[in-house]
Structure 1
């Protein structure tokens, strides 16, 4: 089986790349376990100063594979629990990294792919990027910490509005909301991400670590508990007829195995 995640480095920058282009970097347990392994490798090394999370292909991540989810639910009641638990472990590990993580988003970040981008400290996006919510259309709540990070950054009312009434945010809309720090032309995306990484590296490493810890301290204390509650809410929604019907309709009508949620 080919890897879904690669870890490379240059000039003390770790590049974590989503490389499952054929499946639009959809999120499954293998994806989560490989990403978690890369994050642990970064944490155990003392040489990295910044992480850039990037992806191959036109899509950053399509989120969960609804065909796989539909099949998994038929095989086992614990399938979704295991998948979301694997995703949550990865999100927690990313948030615990003592160095900044920059998401470099070139295309759609959908469902749990949106959650993954929001779990990063900073986001640089192509003007072709789209942040797709999608959960309400499937009749379920969010996962991967999306409700946590949107509420933390935007306030509860705006977060709820986006989760319930918006199918997607353009890159410019996400920037105006403060979810994205800069939007650039696709050809400039990698250079812009590297420029931001190097700007962070101009600050002494100890100051960066302490500042990240202080900024995240109050919120991160509650992240794990929130992720567990979010998982329970998702599983309750996934047990309803509405979810089953909407997933089945999506799978039937789609020519692709990709989705907009975990």
Structure 2
């Protein structure tokens, strides 16, 4: 099986690259296992001072692998719950990392891909990036902590408005809301992301670690507990016939010629 995550470095900056370009960097259990392994390796090393989460291809991440989700709906072995639990473990690993993680986003960050970006400490986006919600239209609630992070950063009313009435946010819109901390032209996204990571990496490690911990404590209302609530809400929605029909319709449409796989 080809690796979906590749860990490289630029000096003391870790580069975690999502490499499943053919599947638009869709998130499945193997993806989560590899991401957890990369984050563990980064924390276990004394080398790294900042992390960039980036992606190969046109799309940052199309979100959860809908083919697997559709299969999980039809199974009675808890597969879908285990898939969301794996995503939740990945989100928690990013939040608990003492090393700041910067999402470098090009193209679409959709569904759980949006959640993954929002779990990072900072976000740099290509001007062509889009942050796609999509959950309600599929007939379900969010996963991966998206409801937590949007409500925490934007307030309850704005988070609800975005999750229920907006198809997507452009990079400029996300920046105005404070969800994105830097915007770059597509050709300079990597350079801009590295420059931000370098500013952090050049600071004393203890100061960075303690500051991240304090900010996390100040703004957190127990993400881990929220992720459990979110998972069970998603599973309740996933048990409905409407969700199955909408996912089947989306998978069928995305598999048509000219549409990227998800």
Deviations 1:92-111 (A, max 9, x none): 01101101100000110000
Matched, 1:223 2:250: no
Aligned-partner Cα distance in 2 for 1:82–1:219? 28
Matching residue of 2:111: 111
Matched, 1:190 2:183: no
Deviations 1:179-226 (A, max 9, x none): 001111001100100110111123211111111010001444601000
Greater than 3 Å deviation, 4+ residue runs: 218-221, 256-259
Residue 32 of structure 1 contacts residue 86 of structure 1 at CA under 8 Å; is this kept in 2? yes
Aligned-partner Cα distance in 2 for 1:158–1:151? 8
Matching residue of 1:147: 147
**CA drift at 1:29:** 0.3
Residue 138 of structure 1 contacts residue 243 of structure 1 at CA under 8 Å; is this kept in 2? yes
SS in structure 1 of the partner of residue 62 of structure 2: coil
For 1:17-56, list aligned pairs within 5 A. 17-56=17-56
SS in structure 2 of the partner of residue 208 of structure 1: helix
For 1:40-79, list aligned pairs within 5 A. 40-79=40-79
- Structure number with the bigger relative contact order (C-alpha 8 A, sep ≥ 6) is 1
Deviations 1:205-252 (A, max 9, x none): 111111101000144460100000000000001111111111122123
Residue 103 of structure 1 contacts residue 120 of structure 1 at CA under 8 Å; is this kept in 2? yes
Matching residue of 2:102: 102
Deviations 1:22-70 (A, max 9, x none): 0000000000000011111111111100000000000000001212211
Aligned-partner Cα distance in 1 for 2:72–2:230? 20
Matching residue of 1:81: 81
- Structure 1 range deviating more: 7-16 or 216-225: 216-225
**CA drift at 1:81:** 0.1
TM score, norm. by length of structure 2: 0.96
Distance 1:150 1:100, change over 3 A: same
Residue 128 of structure 2 contacts residue 171 of structure 2 at CA under 8 Å; is this kept in 1? yes
Aligned-partner Cα distance in 2 for 1:51–1:234? 30
Distance 1:69 1:257, change over 3 A: farther
Residue 25 of structure 1 contacts residue 61 of structure 1 at CA under 8 Å; is this kept in 2? yes
SS in structure 2 of the partner of residue 15 of structure 1: strand
Pairs aligned (count) = 259
**CA drift at 1:11:** 1.2
SS in structure 2 of the partner of residue 76 of structure 1: coil
SS in structure 1 of the partner of residue 61 of structure 2: coil
Structure 2 runs not aligned, ≥5 long: none
Structure 1 runs not aligned, ≥5 long: none
